[in-house]
Chain A
Amino acid sequence: MNISSHKTWQRCNYSLFAGAKLVILCFLILTVTFLCTTYFTTSYSNLVQIVSKSNHLPIQQDKVVEGVGALPTVPQIKVVEGVKAKEESHFRSLNDSTYTLGPKINNWDLNRAKWLRHNPGFPNFFSGPKPRVLLVTGSSPKPCANPVGDHYQVKAIKNKIDYCRIHGIDIFYNNALLDAEMAGFWAKLPLLRTLLLSHPEVEFIWWMDSDAFFTDMAFEPPWDRYEPYNLVFHGWDHLVYKDKNWVGLNTGSFFLRNCQWSLDLLDAWAPMGPDGPIRDEAGKLLTGFLKGRPVFEADDQSAMVYLLVTQEDTWSDKVYFENSYCLHGFWESLVDRYEEMLEKNHPGLGDDRWPLVTHFVGCKPCGNFSEFPVERCLSKIDRAFNFADNQVLQMYGFAHKSLNTSSVKRVRNESVGPASAPDEVSIVLYPSVNDRN
């Protein structure tokens, strides 16, 4: 009896110990599984970050979801339109048909001229050589990844509103991605084509990046100089054709005439744009071909240089490289000299004595990844904005207390009547109305 109970006891004891071991083992397995899961999910989100970092695109957390109703309890991390996860295979491959912006149009000049004749209320030229210009700019429809980014977008658009009101130019602010394949810097191409075709009354489209600011409110571009040309870039002939320099021209601010030639140019420019393997391969080609270009996917500026160099005979006679004024002015060499400019010069010059445009290339205030220190960028953007704003506020008798502050002070006593003849410093800021009549 004793032995059997002892044996039972032994078995019990043994099984208790074994059970304990089993429990421990299960616990171990569960914790290891948990650890592995957390490791792999976080590394996926890091992958997403890496992919979009290299594409210079911010990750957005969707705060707004489709459909009316309850919002999801877990915010979803979505990559910006156009950059799809590498698992999907929706990208156009090199073997697929070439990308096109739309159906080929062949008789645009003729049709446009006919339309203009039938619609005399919408002339493409105002009295004199002044063409009807549409300034086109835009930004992503989603909130900036950088919390102050949208504030600078608001300042940028106010700046453009001011310049365009003074010069009788219409603005089209684009918030929509018209073609998912051409996301990022390429998005302007389908937009430009759409606008050219929808607005035959527009003679020139003036594309301007959202990080470019007008800093000379008085300067009017010399339109008569561009009469023989269809495309005007800031840049240098020799840097493009001889040097093949990828920054020989700048696509952040340029004029494009509304004509068949421009449609053809857009068609020739587009093929390097589609997102995915095409853009990547094209990027490699461009880096190899162009001087100074770093390694990254194809961008519209490099592609334009490549196009002009390789098809010089087709396009070069209608392309003008403007460098007598800052149609695009790289910010670094300008922003610290504003006080000096105020002392020595006056608005209306447009060149590096009083730049028409100060362009914050590389700053990317909307995104999280800037090539320059964030603080330097934002404080310099404020200076450029205030420098320009002063030229507008002056008409109303105000100015910023300094270029570094948003506070304003009165600089001219209240008048009891409308502004009479403009003095030397202020400029005629009324819209050139007779031209728009």
Chain B
Amino acid sequence: MGHEGVGFKSGSTRSGLPTTRSRVPRGRQIQKTFNNVKITVLCGFVTLLVLRGTIGVGNLTGSTLESEDQRVVEDIDRILREIRTDSEPEPQDPLSSLYFVNSTAHNWTYAEAVEAVNYSLGPKISDWDQQRQVWLSQNPNFPNQLLGKHRILLVTGSPPNPCDNAIGDHYLLKSTKNKIDYCRLHGIEIVYNMAHLDKELAGYWAKLPLIRKLMLSHPEIEWIWWMDSDAFFTDMAFELPLEKYKNHNLIIHGYPDLLFEQHSWIALNTGSFLFRNCQWSLDLLDAWAPMGPKGIVRELAGKILTANLKGRPAFEADDQSALIYLLTSQQDKWMSKVYVENSYYLHGFWAGLVDKYEEMIEQNHPGLGDERWPFVTHFVGCKPCGSYGDYPVERCLNSMERAFNFGDNQVLRLYGFAHKGLVSPKIKRVQDQTSDPLQVKEKLDMAARITM
């Protein structure tokens, strides 16, 4: 730097030049040198201070609070790790010992693998309809109808451990509240499952043993309604048209042309469907389960499904593809009792719906259940609980918040409130308090238009 150069030539600010110039007294020169050095040192000190402040700890008053927070955060991290390691070890593939013993690996076929594993959901039951009738007649306190409506049990669940992504648990909570609200309004009971009942049928297959178990344990229940944890009710007024399903045992959202003509792997959606509590359903579950056991069976089944279903990527067998394959390959046996529903969104794929909520509020009203006011908005592919979704995380979370608030508005309306916007958790009063609340209650209509 310039001034250093000047300083170094200490006292010689005027030296190095023709000697015609008079010399400055040495003492004065030394003093000037000292001044320069002092300034340099001072600036250096300030620079160090600034650097320490920006990249070091720096702040004096904040240090104690921060270290306390740091301790709490470390505690929580450690606890999270402990909780996660508490989870079950991966179920051992029952065939793995056979598979790897020989150096020349035997090429299992799917049929061989299924036979070797010999999985079953439980002891074979052949007379469930009669058993159930007998039980119902012996237990008149537990009828299968309430106020003229068949009893429905909504079944949902989530893994017993915290989500990999903390925000995932928050949306599980909101999704549960959403289901509690719909079911309270429609007299439906809820079972929230957090237990791995069957190690072999883990993951998306876990619903099969659960549904069977609940059917057999609750003969008073007429319909078991499985609903994924990432599906939200967005039409609080819509009632399932059960009379349409008098002669059917499986109600599932899908498209017949995609199913029968194209054999598409997304022709049906197993995120929201109803099973009647009867022998037929037990038989279907038994026929559905074989592709599920984790390990070699699921892998080989996955290859078969990818080969036979249109558009299916290569991965292990999932329950949805397996059901589609089962129903299309054994059409005559099963399809007469399956109702492929698409007149309303028993399952509504979120991407095409979430941006239209404001438009729906403006033009339509609750109770329709279809694309004008979707019954269920299902966040397929978002996986907020896990680490890897198929869509950008922020878009998913933003959209889930909107769907939740869209549904919540229809509940809050009954109490005179609404969300300030579809993305805001804050609410505002939309109806003044009155000293005659029952008069207001008389006029409440769940299917009335909503004003934001």
Residues of A within 8 A of B (CB): 2-3, 6, 9-10, 13, 16-17, 20-21, 24, 27-28, 31-32, 34-35, 38-39, 42-43, 46, 49-50, 63-68, 71, 81, 102-106, 111-112, 114-115, 121, 139, 141-144, 146-148, 150-151, 153-155, 157-158, 161-162, 165, 170-173, 175-178, 194-195, 197-198, 200, 368-369, 373-375, 378-379, 382, 389, 393, 395-398, 405-408, 414-419, 430-434, 436-437
A-B pairs, 10 with minimum CB distance: A141-B425, A406-B160, A150-B169, A20-B3, A147-B166, A151-B162, A197-B437, A102-B433, A143-B170, A103-B435
Asked whether any CB of chain A lies closer than 8 Å to the CB of B189, the reply is yes
Are A418 and B398 within 8 A (Cβ)? no
**Cα–Cα distance between A34 and B58 once the two chains are bound (Å):** 13
CA distance A408 to B88 in the complex (A): 9
Q: What are 19 A-B contacts defined by CB distance under 8 Å?
A: A2-B18, A13-B13, A38-B54, A46-B61, A46-B65, A106-B435, A150-B170, A153-B173, A178-B427, A194-B416, A200-B441, A375-B75, A375-B79, A407-B87, A407-B160, A408-B197, A414-B122, A419-B217, A433-B146
Q: Is the CB of A10 within 8 A of B14?
A: yes
B180 to chain A: closest CB distance in Å? 5
Please count how many residues in chain B sit with their CB below 8 Å of the partner chain's CB atoms.
106
Chain B residues with CB under 8 Å of A81's CB are 426
Q: Which residues of chain A have C-beta atoms less than 8 A from B213's C-beta?
A: 396-397
For B55-95 the 0/1 string (1 means CB < 8 A from A) is 00011011001000100100110111001001110000000
Query: How many angstroms from the CA of A139 to the CA of B190 in the assembled complex?
Result: 20
Q: Contacts of A142 on B, CB cut-off 8 Å?
A: 425
Stretch at the interface among B45-53, B320-328, B374-382: B45-53
Residues in B with CB closer than 8 Å to A38 are 53-54, 58-59
Which residues from A are CB-within-8-Å of B414? Answer: 198
Which one, B172, B214, B216, B355, contacts A150 given CB within 8 A? B172
Cβ distance B154 to chain A, nearest Cβ, rounded Å:
10
Write out the residue numbers on chain A whose beta carbons fall within 8 Å of the beta carbon of B88: 407
How many Å from the CB of A336 to the closest CB on chain B? 18
Bound together, the chains give a CA A436 to CA B142 distance in angstroms of 10
Residues of A within 8 A of B220 (CB): 430, 433
B192 engages A405 (CB within 8 Å):
no
Contact of B420 among A66, A121, A198 (CB under 8 A): A66
- Across the interface, name the chain B residue whose C-beta is closest to A41: B59
Over the window 154-191 of chain B, the binary record of Cβ atoms lying under 8 Å from chain A Cβ atoms (1 yes, 0 no) is 00001011110011011011101100110010000111
Q: How many residue-residue contacts, CB under 8 A, span A and B?
A: 260
Contact A177 B173 (CB under 8 A): no
Q: Which residue of the partner chain A has the closest CB to B50?
A: A31
Task: Point out the residue from B76, B194, B434 that lies within 8 Å of A148, measured CB to CB.
Answer: B76
How far is B166's CA from A105's CA once the two chains are assembled, in angstroms? 44
A34 x B441 contact (CB < 8 A): no
What CA separation (Å) do A155 and B83 show in the bound complex? 14
Given contacts A64-B397, A103-B435, contact A172 B195 (CB under 8 A): no
Name the residue on A nearest B190 (C-beta): A161
Verify A43–B59 contact, CB threshold 8 A: yes
Find A437's partner among B13, B143, B355 (CB 8 Å cutoff): B143
Within B407-448, which residues are at the interface with A (CB < 8 Å)? 408, 412, 414-417, 420-427, 433-438, 441
- Please give me the residue from chain A that is nearest to B399 by CB atom: A68
Contacts of A153 in B (CB 8 A): 169, 173
Q: How far is it, in angstroms, between the C-alpha of A148 and the C-alpha of B86 when the chains are bound?
A: 15
A333 smallest CB distance to B (angstroms):
23
Q: Is B101 an interface residue (CB 8 A)?
A: no
B122 to chain A, nearest CB (A): 4
CB distance from A63 to the nearest CB of B (A): 7
Q: Does B27 contact A (CB under 8 A)?
A: no
Give Cα distance in the complex from A415 to B125, angstroms: 9
* Complex contact A417–B58 (CB within 8 A): no
A398 touches B427 (CB 8 A): no
Q: Which of B59, B194, B437 contacts A158 (CB 8 A)?
A: B194
B158's partner among A28, A43, A154, A431 (CB-CB below 8 A) is A154
Q: Does B241 contact A (CB under 8 A)?
A: no
Please judge, given known A-B contacts A66-B420, A111-B438, A176-B412, whether A150 and B217 are in contact too, CB under 8 Å.
no
| Extra inter-chain contacts (10) besides given A20-B2, A154-B173, A161-B192, CB under 8 Å | A10-B21, A13-B14, A17-B13, A28-B43, A103-B434, A115-B438, A172-B180, A374-B72, A375-B78, A416-B123
B390 at interface by CB-CB < 8 Å: no
B30 part of interface (Cβ distance < 8 Å): no
Contact of A398 among B14, B167, B197, B433 (CB under 8 A): B197
User: Given A146-B76, A148-B162, are A414 and B123 neighbors across the interface (CB < 8 Å)?
Assistant: yes
> How far apart sit A379 and B79, CA to CA, in the bound complex (Å)?
9
Give CA–CA (A63, B76) in the complex, Å.
21
In the complex, how many angstroms separate the beta carbon of A41 from the nearest chain B beta carbon? Answer: 10
Q: Complex Cα distance A382/B87, Å?
A: 13
Contacts of A419 in B (CB 8 A): 217
Tell whether, in the assembled complex, residue A105 and residue B141 are in contact, meaning their CB atoms are under 8 Å apart: no
Nearest-CB distance from A161 to chain B (Å)? 5
The residue that A170 contacts in the complex, of B184, B218, B424, with Cβ under 8 A, is: B184
* Cβ–Cβ < 8 Å partners of B3 in chain A: 17, 20-21, 24
Query: Cβ of B415 and Cβ of A198 under 8 Å apart?
Result: yes
Shortest Cβ distance from B169 into A: residue: A150
CA distance A2 to B22 in the complex (A): 12
List of B residues within 8 angstroms of A416 by Cβ: 123, 125
- Are B76 and A431 within 8 A (Cβ)? no
Q: A31-B46, A434-B141 known; A42 and B59 CB under 8 Å?
A: yes
Q: Considering the chains assembled together, what is the distance between the CA atoms of A198 and B416 in angstroms?
A: 10
Q: B359: CB under 8 A from chain A?
A: no
Pick the contact of B194 from A66, A68, A155, A178 — CB < 8 Å? A155
- Complex-state Cα separation, A173 to B181, whole angstroms: 8
Task: Flag if B438 contacts A112 (CB, 8 Å).
Answer: yes
Complex CA distance for A333 and B80, rounded to whole angstroms: 25
Contacts of A111 in B (CB 8 A): 436, 438
Instruction: Verify if B401 is at the interface (C-beta below 8 Å from A).
Output: yes
Q: Are B423 and A398 within 8 A (Cβ)?
A: no
Q: Which of B116-137 contact A (CB under 8 A)?
A: 122-123, 125, 131-132, 135
A398, B192: Cα distance in complex, Å: 15
Which residue, A114, A139, A178, has most C-beta atoms of chain B within 10 A? A178
A64 CB contacts on chain B under 8 angstroms: 397-398, 401, 423-425
Name the distance in Å between B411's Cβ and chain A's nearest Cβ: 9
Question: Across the interface, which residues of A come within 8 angstroms of B161, CB to CB?
Answer: 151, 406
Complex: A103 Cα to B434 Cα, angstroms: 6
Query: How distant is B76 from chain A, measured CB to nearest CB, in Å?
Result: 6
Q: Which of A39, A379, A396 has the most CB of B within 10 A?
A: A396
